[in-house]
Amino acid sequence: MLSIAPADTLTSDALWVLLQALAEVGVARDALDGAAGDVLALSHDAEWRSDGVTALRDTLSDLATRTRIAAADAGLHEARIASVTA
């Protein structure tokens, strides 16, 4: 787990690094949110009933769930980084 403890004072270099990290985590979270929606749509599109397609649908559904969890985790990291810069 990532743990960030705020320092009493941040140097300009440290603040710059934190702001860059915040931006990158935001981009990652947005990408994961978009991917989760796309994968969920694929999962719903694959509602035929055959063993192979059912397995694919289950895999896509699982991937969508894990992607949403990763997006939520990225959002938590984003909030932690933002709290250090505040």
In the prediction, which pLDDT does 36 show? Answer: 84
42 C-beta neighbours (distance < 10 Å), count: 15
Please answer whether residues 3 and 48 qualify as being in contact, where contact means their C-beta atoms are separated by less than 8 angstroms: no
Mean pLDDT in each 10-residue stretch from start to end of the chain (86 residues)?
60 87 90 85 68 80 89 90 81
In the prediction, which pLDDT does 55 show? Answer: 81
Cβ neighbours of residue 33 closer than 8 Å, sequence gap 6 or more: 68, 71
- Rounded to 5°, the CA angle 41-36-40 comes to 25
| Cα–Cα separations (whole angstroms), residue 32 to 10, 48, 51, 78 | 30, 26, 28, 13
